[in-house]
Amino acid sequence: MTLPRSLIGAFVVVLSLGLTGCIGAMQTTAHEPVGVSGLTPTQEDRDAGVVGISSGFEIKTYQLIAIDRFAVADPEVKDEEDKKLVATMPVLLQSELVRQLRATGLFVKVVNLSETEFKPGSERALRLEGTITRLAPGSRALRYWVGFGAGRSKAQAEMRFVDAQSGQVVMVTADRRVAAYGVFGGDSEDHLKESFGDMARDLAKFLARLAKGEAPKAKE
């Protein structure tokens, strides 16, 4: 008896999942986050990774947040394809942060600084800046053929929230994601897109909790 090609394909996918584990980027401990202006992200949070918050900071008192494009520091660039990822991932992270923060309803206005110029006015405003301190596509071949964490895609973003009127840094965060599994190793670009998309989503969740008066809380 000959099985239909569609069933054979489905069987291969299921077998691959069983052998390699779940698909998706996973949050892990941030690697040596730097911090800025005397604030270092050391307090663990289940959504944001690690955070550092200045005394007296209350996010609910701000009506506007402006999101800047992140720089990329020390990427693992091996070829032209990697260079394309270095160029596209900051754009993706910025747009995802804008989208996710708008969805929270925490702010009257969320500004994408790549599209709109912003000058501080009378309204209380935050500026979200940061650096992608790790952007490693990894190796699909190693993920598929070797496994056990070989060839992982890695992404880390360190963020700083700046009071737009005073220029004071009021909060810092650092979030790291790794992806080592997927169907046939998983596509590196897809892993990185998921990593930065998840960072934006989870940061928005953290800010929503913070606005309700919840303190940072580690995973249980």
Please give the model's pTM, rounded to 2 decimal places: 0.81
Nearest to 131 by CA among 190, 90, 102: 90
Q: Which of 8-12, 91-95, 99-103 has the weakest average pLDDT? A: 8-12
Domains contained in the chain, CATH given: 5-211 (3.40.50)
CB-neighbour burial class of residue 116 (10 A; exposed 0-12, middle 13-18, buried 19+): exposed
| pLDDT at 3 > cutoff 60 | no
Contacting residues for 13 by C-beta, under 8 A, at least 6 apart: 183
Measured CA to CA, the distance from residue 30 to residue 49 in angstroms comes to 7
How confident is the model at residue 75, as a pLDDT?
60
Is the sign of the CA dihedral 27, 95, 217, 164 positive or negative? positive
The predicted-structure confidence for 159-193, as pLDDT tens digits, reads as follows 999 999 999 999 999 999 998 644 333 467 888 99
The predicted-structure confidence for 14-23, as pLDDT tens digits, reads as follows 333 333 334 5
| Cα-based angle 20, 21, 24 (whole degrees, multiple of 5) | 110
Measured CA to CA, the distance from residue 76 to residue 94 in angstroms comes to 21
Is the sign of the CA dihedral 187, 190, 191, 192 positive or negative? positive
Whether 194 and 69 have beta carbons less than 8 Å apart is answered as no
